[in-house]
């Protein structure tokens, strides 16, 4: 019989409107034409033409696409999620570039910034002419950002920032860094142009995951900023954590893109590959693997769309975002590894996307809240007991 596609199995398109389908298909086409032919090379070389890509992604309208005004596309959260799914179907590093730009750096300014900060940065960031990064994690404080040591002290009207941030996506290529620092008044956010004296961002090398993504340390040594650099509307840890909900939401969809790409590759490979004189796809063990993976993929996509609808209705809660991030990334990495088995030795090369996705998903499992952090967020919501400390 003629095989069905994965999307036919779950009839996912029946849950989307025409505009959402059009956005998804436009992003898929751009990614397939422009990025897919080169991504293996970029991953191997650990070199991404990020500036050029940012402009192309800006022209596509995906940078800050769920934000209103200031040159942003003002699309729904669900449409943004569908775009993330297509971006991550090519590589988690490409989705990361877009997540950090739109959901972390731009969102932080859009949600918490002054009118001047928004006008200065958002239109250029939406166009991909200026790149942003988001510095929360420190070498000694990842899951527990509340312990951060980076600090901002007053000197007259100015602020002086000192400290180190670690594992910062887009850090070395950024024009602007949103940096979270401890002040006398609790944690506050600062908009730091990266050419400010005392700011440097050495790139982190030798990563075996997210190689097609720039990851950096941020070093702040007596960085002097005017009073106007502080984000006026973010006060306390809820400022940065509120931004994380946005990026985590995109990952819920994105991870399913990576999983889908692996499964499509494995199904096609299994149909072509002959083992013991028969198509690999014709063995029951292969079909059981494919069926189980397809079920998890479909469930994850349905969960993503459900959370998208809640987000568009303005009712989604952080612990609900945690359910999606925990489940979809955990299942995506399992799918990637299982697909790798179907490809045998070919599965370990960059000729196929599978090991690249599997390796990338190791980072995705850790960043934006590790799986364990999301288990604890859900556990706290369901038991009323906090088990972080």
**Interface with ligand FAD by CB under 6 A: which range of 41-49, 219-227, 314-322, 364-372?**
364-372
Task: Kindly give, in sequence order, each residue whose CB lies less than 8 Å from that of residue 219, ignoring residues fewer than 6 positions away.
Answer: 164, 199, 200, 201, 202
Binding residue (CB under 6 A) for ligand FAD from 75, 109, 136, 251: 136
Kindly determine how many residues on this chain lie close enough to bind ligand FAD according to the rule CB under 6 A.
Answer: 19
Pick between residue 137 and residue 150 the one whose CB is nearest to ligand TGC.
137
Structure-block tokens of residue 366:
């850790």
In whole angstroms, give the CA distance from residue 210 to residue 28: 20
Query: Collapsing DSSP states into helix, strand and coil, what is residue 158?
Result: strand
Residue with tokens 């998903």, as numbered in its chain: 361
Report CA-CA distances (Å) from 102 to 87, 221, 278. Answer: 13, 27, 48
| Residue 143 in the binding site for ligand TGC (CB under 6 A) | yes
Residue nearest to ligand FAD (CB): 142
310 close to 316: Cβ distance less than 8 angstroms: yes
Q: Choosing among ligand TGC, ligand FAD, none, which partner's interface includes residue 135 (Cβ < 5 to 8 Å by kind)?
A: ligand FAD
Query: Collapsing DSSP states into helix, strand and coil, what is residue 15?
Result: helix
Binding residue (CB under 6 A) for ligand FAD from 65, 108, 161, 210: 210
Cα torsion for 105, 366, 61, 23, to the nearest 10°?
-150
Residue with tokens 């402009």, as numbered in its chain: 55
**Interface with ligand TGC by CB under 6 A: which range of 22-30, 105-113, 130-138, 338-346?**
130-138
| Residue 145 in the binding site for ligand TGC (CB under 6 A) | yes
Q: 304-333: which residues touch ligand TGC (CB under 6 A)?
A: 318
Out of 86, 116, 368, 385, the active site residue is: 368
**What's the half-sphere exposure (Cβ side, CA atoms, 13 Å) at 7?**
10
| Residue 32 in the binding site for ligand TGC (CB under 6 A) | no
| Residue 203 in the binding site for ligand FAD (CB under 6 A) | no
Q: 231-270: which residues touch ligand TGC (CB under 6 A)?
A: 236-238, 241-242, 244-245, 247
210 close to 92: Cβ distance less than 8 angstroms: yes
Pair type for strands 215-225 and 158-169: antiparallel
Nearest distance from C-beta of residue 81 to ligand TGC, angstroms: 14
| Residue 134 in the binding site for ligand FAD (CB under 6 A) | yes
| Residue 368 in the binding site for ligand TGC (CB under 6 A) | yes
**Dihedral class, residue 192 (left if φ above 0, else alpha if ψ from -120 to 50, else beta):** beta
| Residue 379 in the binding site for ligand TGC (CB under 6 A) | no
Query: Collapsing DSSP states into helix, strand and coil, what is residue 111?
Result: helix
Instruction: Give the residue numbers annotated as catalytic, written as ranges.
Output: 368
Question: Where along the sequence are the contacts to ligand FAD (CB under 6 A)?
Answer: 100, 134-137, 142-143, 167-169, 210, 215, 363, 366-367, 370, 372-373, 388
Question: Where along the sequence are the contacts to ligand TGC (CB under 6 A)?
Answer: 96, 99-100, 134, 136-137, 143-146, 169, 236-238, 241-242, 244-245, 247, 318, 367-369, 373, 377, 388
């Amino acid at each position: 019989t003629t095989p069905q596609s994965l999307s036919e199995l779950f009839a996912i398109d029946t849950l989307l409107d025409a505009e959402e389908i059009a956005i998804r298909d436009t992003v898929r086409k751009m990614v397939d034409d422009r990025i897919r032919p080169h991504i293996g090379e970029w991953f191997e070389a650990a070199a991404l033409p990020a500036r050029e890509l940012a402009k192309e992604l800006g022209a596509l309208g995906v940078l800050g696409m769920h934000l209103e005004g200031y040159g942003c596309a003002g699309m729904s959260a669900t449409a943004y999620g569908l775009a993330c799914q297509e971006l991550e179907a090519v590589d988690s590093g490409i989705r990361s570039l877009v997540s950090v730009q739109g959901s972390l750096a731009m969102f932080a300014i859009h949600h918490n910034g002054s009118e001047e900060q928004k006008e200065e940065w958002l239109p250029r960031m939406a166009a991909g002419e200026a790149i942003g990064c988001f510095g929360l994690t420190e070498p000694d404080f990842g899951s527990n950002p509340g312990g951060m040591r980076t600090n901002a002290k007053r000197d007259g009207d100015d602020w002086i920032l000192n400290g180190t941030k670690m594992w910062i996506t887009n850090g070395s290529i950024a024009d602007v860094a949103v940096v979270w620092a401890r002040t006398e008044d609790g944690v506050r956010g600062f908009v730091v142009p990266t050419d400010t004296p005392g700011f440097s961002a050495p790139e982190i090398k030798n990563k075996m995951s997210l190689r097609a993504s720039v990851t950096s340390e941020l070093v702040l040594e007596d960085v002097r900023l005017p009073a106007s650099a502080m984000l006026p509307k973010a006060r306390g840890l809820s400022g940065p954590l509120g931004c994380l909900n946005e990026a985590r939401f995109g990952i819920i969809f994105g991870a399913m893109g990576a999983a889908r790409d692996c499964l499509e590759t494995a199904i096609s490979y299994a149909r072509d590959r002959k083992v013991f004189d028969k198509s690999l796809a014709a063995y029951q063990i292969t079909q059981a693997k494919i069926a189980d993976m397809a079920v998890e993929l479909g469930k994850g996509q349905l969960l993503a769309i459900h959370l998208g609808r809640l987000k568009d209705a303005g009712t989604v809660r952080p612990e609900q975002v945690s359910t999606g991030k925990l489940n979809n990334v955990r299942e995506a990495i399992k799918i990637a590894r299982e697909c790798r088995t179907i490809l045998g030795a070919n599965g370990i090369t960059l000729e196929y996307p599978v090991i690249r996705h599997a390796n990338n998903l190791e980072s995705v499992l850790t960043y934006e809240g590790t799986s364990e952090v999301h288990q604890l967020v859900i556990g706290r919501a369901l038991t009323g007991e906090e088990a972080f400390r």
